[in-house]
Amino acid sequence: MLNFKAVALEDRAVLEPVLRAQPYRICDHCFACLYIWENTYPAQFCFDEDILYIMYSYPDGSTAYQLPYCPDEQLPGAIEKIRRHAAGCGK
């Protein structure tokens, strides 16, 4: 099971290198946005087998996950972990 934790300012050092390594630039892949939107769209993250997972909670109670941060060949397994996590949480 994936063990998510809330994004905190002290997580910047571990998250920012992974987020900056992405070849595309959108706000969802920026530490500052993950952090400043905490009161409206709380973000949580975890690393599992060197893959970064990010999950959001929305005001209506729904949950969303970003595409895992991993090499393409690991993506199917990483998505399956998200599916199992969501099912285990009743989402």
Residue whose C-alpha is closest to residue 52's, from 85, 11, 19: 19
Q: What pLDDT digit, counting tens, does each position of 13-56 carry?
A: 999 999 998 887 788 788 999 999 988 999 999 999 999 999 99
Residue recorded with tokens 């949950």: 63
Q: What pLDDT digit, counting tens, does each position of 61-74 carry?
A: 899 999 999 999 99
How far apart (Å, rounded) are the C-alpha atoms in residues 82 and 34?
Answer: 19
Helix (H, G, I), strand (E, B) or coil at 7: coil
CA 67 to chain centre: 8
Give residue 24's pLDDT: 77
CA 17 to chain centre: 14
Confidence of residue 91 (pLDDT cuts 50, 70, 90): low
